[in-house]
């Protein structure tokens, strides 16, 4: 293109020049002079056009080269990013969080620590590079100039393995920490002012093998709280133990750095607060991390209301609603408190289910590895990929206790308080939490098509739960609806309520619902397409959070009490906050349909009940519902959209 344009321009100039010369030899009449001026103007115009054509050709060639180079660079960067980020445990990389709630940026990892940034699935990261890997590391190394004179340490420039090295910083400090804490009343139990913060955001905070959280700061305000409890990580204040309390030790920012090699020995008599000693498995976590403790995660209701909705609340508080983060469990799943009688029951009832469920939930919340604070007699305290065993030892004291095991660029820790007990006013948090989970599970990628099946489900809870609050005659209710009521009758009622432009239902499905036989993903999909949900109170019913179908109805069976033979819908407030799109009808207003059954069999005698206000969170008898009355007084109205 460039050669062709240049040739065309040269030919044009030569042709015009010949015309001008011939004109000079002719008469100098005014008409000829006019023609000469016209031709000169034409020369200028042709020059401009030719130059533009020439430049356009060069620009096009250059653009093609840049596009090709850009494509190669993009592929290279994508490949490089894939290896540098912590491995994703989920298969949903497309969702990056809500942009308008994701403006927080963690600090950059200090240059000297960049070789310790966690880059693989296995968190036991050791400095043990071969020759090839050594060449790929950043241009940063440990020097031995000062330390050799004091300790005669081995040469750390050995490319096969670092034994021990000492880095002396020319500036004042290697790095420093910052913190930002918020305090507000978590719940109605805390009527007086509390010295604890609700949640804190720590930047460049570290964790040593003694189990201490270290903040490196010169702030006098922070130093005044050194060694004190800053936050608690458990949703219930009255059950909080030491394992749920985060004490923060405040030290001056370190000036020198010691890396302990696999075989290195460091005389702790020479250690000072200005020297930061790294363990052989030291790692730096650069992605934002959310620390929490777990409560009854085997129960889906508590998993939502007392655990992961609170983590999401912390994400909102600090403007980082993104799955590109870690969750850090800072607890033993079943801590043993003096006088605690429920924990042994929970261990016997749930076993490892609670631990496994908590990890599954964490992986639904974030795309990065779930971490845990661990403790054993040999290694002391350390951070690794969950799960891990927590030995019941306190502050192991040995020559390695002061070593730093892990540092975090950004750690948010604390608890915004149980939603099970105090959920009022949190509707916006719950709505965003639901949308976040559904986006993570790709349930909102496409709008759900209309289902031609009208689905009615009756919750069938196990009768051996700690809390006695099950519908005891679910089998009889399902049998009545499927044998005594024709499908055509229910279809006629349901389709009468639909306009001419709306599609019609073609079948009715009656479900004897046993959640324990379904995966969480199956439950979410099921509730998203549910029309009528009949359930007693209790945490198992809180999957109503995912009832998103227009005109869905929940028929709520209240908790009842055997001594007074009364019933209360005190916990209805939870569903009213969770299921914001759902019409909820409490059967406390239909108490004539209910009976209290004190035993665990539907064959046992039932006692009539009446409505009464209670503030107890649990009932102590199962409920029997009159199947015919349930259908005639409530389900028929739900079919017709009359509730």
Whole-number pLDDT of residue 542: 87
Of residues 425 and 292, the one with the higher pLDDT is: 292
- On the CB side of 69, how many CA atoms lie within 13 Å of its CA? 6
List, in sequence order, every residue forming a beta bridge with 381; answer none if it has no partner. Answer: 375
Please provide the DSSP assignment of 17-38 as one string: HHHHHHHHTS---HHHHHHHHH
Whole-number pLDDT of residue 56: 46
Lowest mean pLDDT among 49-58, 143-152, 495-504, 584-593: 143-152
Average pLDDT for residues 30-57, to the nearest whole number? Answer: 50
Q: Which residue has the tokens 């009808």?
A: 585
Q: Look at residues 151, 126, 162 and name the one whose alpha carbon lies nearest to residue 268.
A: 151
Whole-number pLDDT of residue 238: 63
- Name the phi and psi angles at 278, rounded to 5: -100, 140
Lowest mean pLDDT among 8-22, 85-99, 511-525: 8-22
| 97, 574, 514, 635: CA torsion to nearest 10 | -110
CB-neighbour burial class of residue 316 (10 A; exposed 0-12, middle 13-18, buried 19+):
middle
Residue 531 has pLDDT above 90, yes or no: yes
Q: Look at residues 283, 347, 296 and name the one whose alpha carbon lies nearest to residue 117.
A: 283
Residue 275 has pLDDT above 80, yes or no: yes
CB within 8 Å of 597: residues ≥ 6 apart: 472, 604, 605, 606, 607, 621, 622, 623, 624
Average pLDDT for residues 589-601, to the nearest whole number? Answer: 94
Per DSSP, the three-state class of 443 is: coil
Residue 39 has pLDDT above 70, yes or no: no
Average pLDDT for residues 507-528, to the nearest whole number? Answer: 92
CB within 8 Å of 220: residues ≥ 6 apart: none
Return the top range by mean pLDDT from 248-262, 303-317, 393-407.
303-317
Q: Tokens at residue 89, please? A: 């445990």
Q: Look at residues 527, 504, 505 and name the one whose alpha carbon lies nearest to residue 454.
A: 505
Per DSSP, the three-state class of 511 is: strand
Whole-number pLDDT of residue 60: 45
Average pLDDT for residues 444-462, to the nearest whole number? Answer: 84
Average pLDDT for residues 333-342, to the nearest whole number? Answer: 57
Residue 598 has pLDDT above 60, yes or no: yes
358 membership: H or E segment, kind and range = helix 353-365
Q: Which residue has the tokens 């993903």?
A: 521
Return the top range by mean pLDDT from 77-81, 378-382, 554-558.
554-558
pLDDT tens by residue, 238-273: 666 667 789 999 999 998 888 865 444 444 444 566
Whole-number pLDDT of residue 19: 43
Peptide bond into 264 cis (omega under 30): no
Residue 36 has pLDDT above 90, yes or no: no
Whole-number pLDDT of residue 448: 73
Residue 45 has pLDDT above 60, yes or no: no
Residue 74 has pLDDT above 90, yes or no: no
Residue 378 has pLDDT above 60, yes or no: yes
Q: Which residue has the tokens 């004091």?
A: 150
Whole-number pLDDT of residue 148: 29
Is 118:328 a contact under the CB 8 Å cutoff? no
567 membership: H or E segment, kind and range = strand 566-568
Residue 1 has pLDDT above 80, yes or no: no
Long-range Cβ pairs for the range 189-198 (8 Å, 24+): 189/237, 189/238, 190/237, 195/228, 196/229, 196/230, 196/231, 196/232, 197/230, 197/231, 197/414, 198/231, 198/414, 198/415, 198/416, 198/417
CB within 8 Å of 82: residues ≥ 6 apart: none
Lowest mean pLDDT among 67-76, 415-424, 522-531, 612-621: 67-76
C-alpha 511/C-alpha 619 separation (Å) is: 25
Lowest mean pLDDT among 74-88, 355-369, 451-465, 611-625: 74-88
Lowest mean pLDDT among 186-190, 205-209, 241-245, 426-430: 186-190
Whole-number pLDDT of residue 98: 75
SS (H, E, C) 372-398: EEEEECCCEEEEEECCCCECCCCCCCC
C-alpha 470/C-alpha 172 separation (Å) is: 65
Is 608:623 a contact under the CB 8 Å cutoff? no
C-alpha 395/C-alpha 375 separation (Å) is: 9
Average pLDDT for residues 597-621, to the nearest whole number? Answer: 87
Whole-number pLDDT of residue 187: 53
List, in sequence order, every residue forming a beta bridge with 165; answer none if it has no partner. Answer: 259
| 474, 478, 483, 488: CA torsion to nearest 10 | 150
pLDDT tens by residue, 95-132: 667 777 888 999 999 998 998 996 533 333 333 333 33
Q: Tokens at residue 134, please? A: 């050594």
Mean pLDDT of the chain: 76
Which pLDDT band holds residue 147 (cuts at 50, 70, 90)?
A: very low
Which pLDDT band holds residue 558 (cuts at 50, 70, 90)?
A: very high
C-alpha 530/C-alpha 453 separation (Å) is: 9
Return the top range by mean pLDDT from 49-53, 260-264, 599-603, 632-636.
632-636
């Amino acid at each position: 293109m460039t050669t062709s344009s240049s040739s065309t321009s040269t030919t044009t100039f030569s042709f015009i020049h010949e015309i001008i010369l011939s004109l000079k030899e002719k008469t100098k009449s005014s008409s000829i002079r006019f023609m000469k001026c016209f031709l000169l103007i034409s020369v200028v115009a042709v020059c401009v056009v030719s130059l533009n054509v020439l430049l356009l050709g060069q620009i096009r060639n250059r653009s093609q080269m840049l596009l090709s180079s850009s494509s190669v660079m993009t592929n290279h960067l994508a490949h490089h990013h894939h290896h540098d980020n912590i491995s994703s445990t989920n298969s949903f990389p497309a969702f990056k969080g809500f942009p308008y709630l994701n403006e927080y940026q963690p600090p950059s990892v200090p240059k000297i620590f960049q070789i310790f940034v966690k880059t693989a699935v296995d968190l036991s990261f050791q400095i043990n590079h071969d020759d090839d890997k050594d060449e790929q590391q950043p241009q940063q190394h440990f020097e031995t100039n000062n330390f050799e004179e004091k300790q005669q340490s081995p040469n750390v420039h050995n490319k096969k393995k670092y034994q021990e090295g000492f880095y002396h910083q020319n500036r004042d400090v290697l790095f420093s920490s910052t913190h930002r804490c918020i305090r507000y009343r978590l719940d109605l139990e805390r009527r007086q002012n509390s010295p604890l913060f609700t949640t804190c955001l720590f930047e460049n905070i570290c964790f040593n093998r003694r189990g201490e959280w270290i903040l490196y700061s010169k702030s006098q305000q922070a130093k005044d709280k050194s060694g004190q409890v800053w936050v608690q990580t458990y949703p219930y204040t009255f059950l909080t133990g030491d394992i749920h309390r985060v004490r923060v030790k405040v030290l001056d920012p370190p000036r020198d750095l010691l890396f302990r090699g696999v075989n290195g020995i460091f005389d702790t008599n020479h250690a000072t607060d200005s020297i930061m000693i790294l363990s052989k498995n030291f790692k730096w976590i650069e992605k934002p991390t959310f620390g929490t403790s777990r409560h009854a995660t085997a129960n889906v209701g508590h998993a939502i209301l007392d655990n992961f909705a609170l983590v999401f609340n912390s994400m909102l508080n600090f403007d980082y609603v993104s799955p590109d983060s870690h969750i850090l469990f800072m607890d033993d799943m079943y801590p043993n408190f003096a006088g605690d009688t429920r924990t042994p029951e929970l261990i016997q009832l749930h076993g490892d289910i609670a631990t496994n469920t908590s990890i599954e939930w964490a992986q639904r919340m974030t795309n990065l590895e779930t971490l845990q604070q661990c403790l054993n007699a040999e290694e002391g305290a350390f951070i690794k990929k969950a799960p891990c065993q927590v030995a019941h030892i306190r502050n192991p004291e040995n020559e390695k206790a002061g070593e730093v095991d892990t540092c975090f660029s950004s750690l948010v820790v604390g608890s915004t308080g149980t939603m099970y007990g105090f959920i009022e006013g949190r509707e916006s948090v719950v709505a965003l939490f639901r949308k976040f989970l559904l986006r993570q599970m790709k349930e909102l990628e496409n709008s759900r098509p209309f289902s031609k099946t009208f689905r009615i489900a009756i919750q069938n809870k196990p009768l051996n739960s700690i809390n006695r609050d099950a519908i005891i005659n679910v089998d009889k209710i399902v049998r009545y609806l499927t044998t005594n009521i024709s499908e055509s009758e229910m279809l006629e009622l349901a389709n009468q309520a639909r306009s001419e432009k709306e599609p019609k239902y073609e079948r009715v499905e009656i479900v004897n619902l046993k959640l324990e036989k379904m995966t969480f993903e199956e439950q979410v999909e099921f509730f998203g397409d549910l029309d009528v949900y009949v359930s007693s109170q209790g945490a198992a019913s809180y999957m109503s959070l995912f009832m998103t179908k227009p005109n869905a109805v929940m028929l709520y069976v209240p908790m009842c009490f055997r001594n007074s033979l009364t019933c209360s819908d005190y916990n209805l407030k939870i569903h009213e906050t969770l299921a914001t799109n759902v019409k909820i009808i409490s059967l406390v207003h239909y108490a004539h349909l209910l009976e209290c059954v004190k035993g665990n069999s539907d064959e046992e005698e039932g006692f009539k009940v009446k409505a009464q206000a209670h503030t107890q969170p649990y009932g102590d008898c199962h409920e029997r519902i009159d199947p015919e009355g349930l259908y005639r007084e409530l389900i028929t109205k739900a079919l017709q959209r009359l509730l």
